[in-house]
Amino acid sequence: MSALAEPLAELKASVASYLKPADLTRLEEAYHFSNRAHHGQYRKSGEPYIHHPVAVAEILSHWHLDPQTLVAALLHDVLEDTDVIKDDISERFGKPVADLVDGVSKLDRIEFQTALDAQAENFRKMLLAMARDVRVILIKLADRLHNMRTLEAVSAAQRTRVARETLEIYAPIANRLGLDSLYRELQELAFKYLYPLRYATLAKAVKAARGNRREVVGKVVDSIRQKLADSGIEAMVTGREKHIFSIYKKMVEKHLSFSEVLDIYGYRVVVNDVPSCYIALGALHALYKPVPGKFKDYVAIPKGNGYQSLHTSLIGPYGMPLEVQIRTWDMHRIAETGVASHWVYKDDQGTLFEVQQRTHRWLQSLVEIQDTSGDPAEFLEHIKVDLFPDEVYVFTPAGEIKSLPRGATPVDFAYAVHTDIGNRCVAAKVNYELVPLRTELKNGDQVEVITATHANPNPAWLSYVKTGKARSQIRHFLKTMQFEESAALGERLLNQALRGLDAEPNVIDADRWEKLVRETSARSRQEILADIGLGKRLPAIVARELLVTPGAEASDDSRPGGSIVIRGSEGMAVQFAKCCRPIPGDPIVGFIKKGQGLVVHNHDCATAAKARSDPEKWIDVEWATDTEKMYDVGIRVTAANQRGVLAKVAAAIAEAGSNIENVIMDEERGMYTTMHFTIQVSHRQHLARVMRNLRRVPDVVRILRQRD
């Protein structure tokens, strides 16, 4: 047998037990096609390139994946590294195989601004292909595993980059899909190449400790077997050494030295059925004392990836802590192969259907995140957030279980139920009690979301939400709202500029708008208006461009066309300057600030005075006669330092119909104390009413409005 045929022979031997003869012939055809395409190409290790796709197909064959996936695995690099195009694969091996290969292939032929953009776009494409067909990511994970096993051959810089990418993205995806063995091996290999000295030191320490503890481990396994046999339970009991990365993670998280990590061995008990799991648990708790609070029931409430087991921590011989997993054989198979078990064990339909449903829900959430994240880097950020392995399990009022990342809040829960519930969320009850929306949820909490029809997402939510879906939906809503509000403001600013040029807005026909959209490379008329509202385009210049006739020069003669009326309902498109905090009744000026829109200042604001050098950006503004909101304003109150003075001042403010947003008291206090309030008023007369009320408080000696 030639050296070239050896990899094929090994692959055929691996799949012969479950593939039909016709499938083996198809596999052989794909092998020869791939071998011809990669002819003359070698891996960094020096072996012919064909060895890599064959190794990837062999990894997938251990999960008994279907012939299409194995053929795609053999061809997975031909689009990226050879002259073969997708149509060639589609014609020879069918469209499903071509789609799988295309989903796995990188986007190396497209130019990106940075390596980060390229990486982000690659992941976006791959994950969306995975959402259509989960086999894409199974091929990619097998590809990454073989690359990690042979990473020694590449440069140190590339080893570090690939290892970090594996630890941050691919290992968590394997975990999310329930591929436990693959997840552990990817973590271990990534740790080995990312931190080689730490890995070598810990590996040496584990090897040294192995001899000392082997006898104890044997005794524990024997005593567990005996106890279970005495209880009438048939079980397989094994003791295994924990992975070096798991030990390292525990040392880092709990600030322990290696000598303090006593539980470097874990124990697994596999029984025949679910009732036996709980009987075995009782028997073990009778044999060794359980550690309080260290029991987790993933049988009754499975993890998000379908994983099921009972986890318990016990105090073993010589005070040594023991970690034990108890599961059935079906649970064991799903724990090892996760979503791939759909192909491995086709007769376990009941359990596997639930695993597939969970995976499908997660994959659909990726599509939702993509729909709201235009930027690939932002999409990648959301996905990284969504790959947290630690989970909390909470209940809806109807008793349905929701799985969320640790640290999730009622806002995350609201978006997990439905996007509209998240967008309309105003409050939440946890275990029937009202709580702040930033409250961290705990296992077993019952969460009820309170909504209001006209409520909108709060930008402050972005500082504490944990799920990618919540983060992307909030950002999407805020961007959309800002775009719409900015376009409305832009239209008002443009109309003002047109009137300043003695033209009415209705004289601008659709053809002129279409011509301007083409010339400015904008996507639409709305985009130009939004750019005006955000200060990215000057209204006077756009007005002149719209009015200019073919062959004529644009006129520079622009006169004021009336003021923009500020109603207070413009949303994010109009901002009130924090430096001077204008309120209705104050003389005001408007300044177009790029990216922020129209910023309103008091006319005598010192900060605004510094920016008057560009007259094109200043807009005449005036208050509407009936503004529609409350405005923040700062006041400074100096009062005698008497007991209860803060309560008296707060009561006087409340009596005048004003709400206190914030209060800060000066630290230095003698005979008098100074309080800085941020209060809400509807206009200048309302503020005057508040200040009159405060003057009636006997202890108050001075009141000032604070401009900054």
Q: How many CA atoms lie within 13 A of 437 on its CB side?
A: 24
Computed from CA positions of residues 505, 511, 514, 516, in that sequence, does the dihedral angle turn out positive or negative? negative
Question: 636: helix, coil or strand?
Answer: strand
Nearest-5° Cα angle at 396, 393 to 402: 35
Given a contact cutoff of 8 angstroms between Cβ atoms, the answer to whether 680 and 631 are in contact is: yes
Question: What is residue 456's DSSP assignment?
Answer: -
Given a contact cutoff of 8 angstroms between Cβ atoms, the answer to whether 393 and 401 are in contact is: yes
DSSP string, 387-431: T-S-EEEEE-TTS-EEEEETT--HHHHHHHH-HHHHHTEEEEEET
Q: What is the pLDDT of residue 273?
A: 92
Residues facing residue 239 across a β-bridge? 267
Q: What is the pLDDT of residue 109?
A: 42
Name the residue with tokens 């359990």.
351
Q: How many CA atoms lie within 13 A of 59 on its CB side?
A: 23
Among candidate residues 565, 500, 494, the one with its CA nearest the CA of residue 535: 494
* Cβ-defined contacts of 555-559 (< 8 Å, 24+): 555/501, 557/501, 558/497, 558/500, 558/501, 559/500, 559/501, 559/502
Q: What are the CA-CA distances from residue 89 to residues 28, 117, 167, 195 (Å)? A: 15, 28, 32, 40
Among candidate residues 569, 570, 589, the one with its CA nearest the CA of residue 580: 589
Pick left, alpha or beta for residue 644 (phi over 0 → left; psi -120 to 50 → alpha; otherwise beta). left
Q: What is the pLDDT of residue 186?
A: 94
Torsion angle of C-alpha atoms 180, 182, 187, 192, degrees rounded to 10: 140
Q: What is the pLDDT of residue 346?
A: 44
* CA dist., res. 294 & res. 313, Å (int): 6
Summarize pLDDT for 218-230 with one digit per residue, the tens: 888 889 999 999 9
Helix (H) or strand (E) segment spanning residue 580: none
Distance of CA 680 to the CA centre of its chain: 36
10-residue mean pLDDT profile of the chain (708 residues): values are: 61 81 88 88 86 91 87 89 86 89 64 58 68 81 92 88 86 82 91 92 82 74 90 88 84 79 80 93 92 86 80 83 89 76 48 58 64 61 58 82 85 91 92 91 89 86 86 83 80 81 79 82 82 75 71 42 70 79 89 75 83 69 82 92 90 92 82 91 93 92 86
Alpha helices, DSSP H, located in 231-328: 244-254, 274-287
Q: What is the pLDDT of residue 364?
A: 64
List of residues 6+ apart from 563 with CB closer than 8 A: 496, 620, 621, 622
List of residues 6+ apart from 222 with CB closer than 8 A: none
Question: What is residue 681's DSSP assignment?
Answer: E
Nearest-5° Cα angle at 411, 405 to 417: 80
Catalytic positions, written as ranges: 80-81
pTM of the predicted structure, to 2 decimals? 0.60
Domains of the chain (ranges, CATH numbers): 5-194 (1.10.3210.10), 197-345 (3.30.460.10), 395-463 (3.10.20.30), 476-623 (no CATH), 631-706 (3.30.70.260)
User: Is 507 exposed, middle or buried, given 0-12, 13-18 or 19+ CB atoms closer than 10 A?
Assistant: exposed
